[in-house]
Amino acid sequence: MRYENRQIPEGINVSTEHPLKEFSALLLSLVVLVGAVVVGLSVLAAYAAPLVPFHVEQKIVEQTGSDWLQADPLSVEQQAVKQYLKTLGSALEANMELPEAMTLTVHYSDSELVNAFATLGGHIVIHRGLLREMPHENALAMVMAHEIAHIKYRHPIVASGRGLTVGLALAAVGGFTDSSATGLLINILGSGSMSSFSRGQESEADAEALKALLAHYGHVNGAADLFKALHDRTEPSKLLEFFGTHPADRKRIAAIEQFSLNISQGSTQPFPESVLKAVH
């Protein structure tokens, strides 16, 4: 049998299609695939986020040392305010039936920001600027119970976005709690939990907060007074921070007032003198 080494024809590995056409087709396919994955993750995030164990969320947040956990040393007066906030938060929490493994940490920030927020890992931050605008304790209790409700229903982790949800899910499944990549993911995307929640989440948190106030005080009088006070007394520029994360349209205030129609009225509680002195 005779063998011969035939020459390979020129261009055998070259497509007859124009390179740019092939590139465009591949690029389009990639875009479609990525888009489908992004949409799928966006839809699944809200359902997947609450499945991440709360203790995993807490541990990762603690390891990243997020900016909102860092605070200057508090003075004696500021420590008294923080203790007051912790005591009030604990009293409200006792009426809200949080899951057994869920714990809360209340932070007091001595800043002029007119704001309060709940974020990942069960952390609640109250700024001095907001306390200065509070007309009484009941208004503060409404805000705190509202933030506690956000944590109860795992709203911060849902609001933080699909990237953080996937990162935390991987950490829970694979034990990547020491991963620097996961920490970076928390720092970049975790601030999403401090941005505005959906209207449905806000309404859910309001409803839970009102029930907590009713159980704690025996009435809900003054629950909407903060929103009215801010509109009446605060400079418009200072409202942006609070209302950017706590929309207070007429429907929301009306829903709070509607809840109290068939409930006996009661007196609002003033702040302790030590708290008033420290925040003003």
Hey, what amino acid is at 187? N
Please enumerate in sequence order all residues whose Cβ is within 8 A of that of 232, keeping only pairs 6 or more positions apart, or say none: none
Hey, what amino acid is at 251? K
Hey, what amino acid is at 17? E
Tokens coding 67:
């900016």
Are the beta carbons of 91 and 148 closer than 8 angstroms?
no
How many Å apart are CA 270 and CA 136, to the nearest integer? Answer: 5
Are the beta carbons of 71 and 135 closer than 8 angstroms?
no
pLDDT digits (tens, 9 = 90+) for 1-58: 666 666 766 655 666 666 677 777 777 886 776 566 555 666 676 677 778 889 888 8
pLDDT digits (tens, 9 = 90+) for 69-124: 655 567 889 999 999 999 999 999 999 999 988 999 999 998 888 889 998 899 99
Which of 153, 276, 249, 129 minimizes the C-alpha distance to 209?
153
Element (H, E) at 33: helix 19-48
| pTM to 2 decimal places | 0.74
Q: Where are the domains of the chain?
A: 53-279
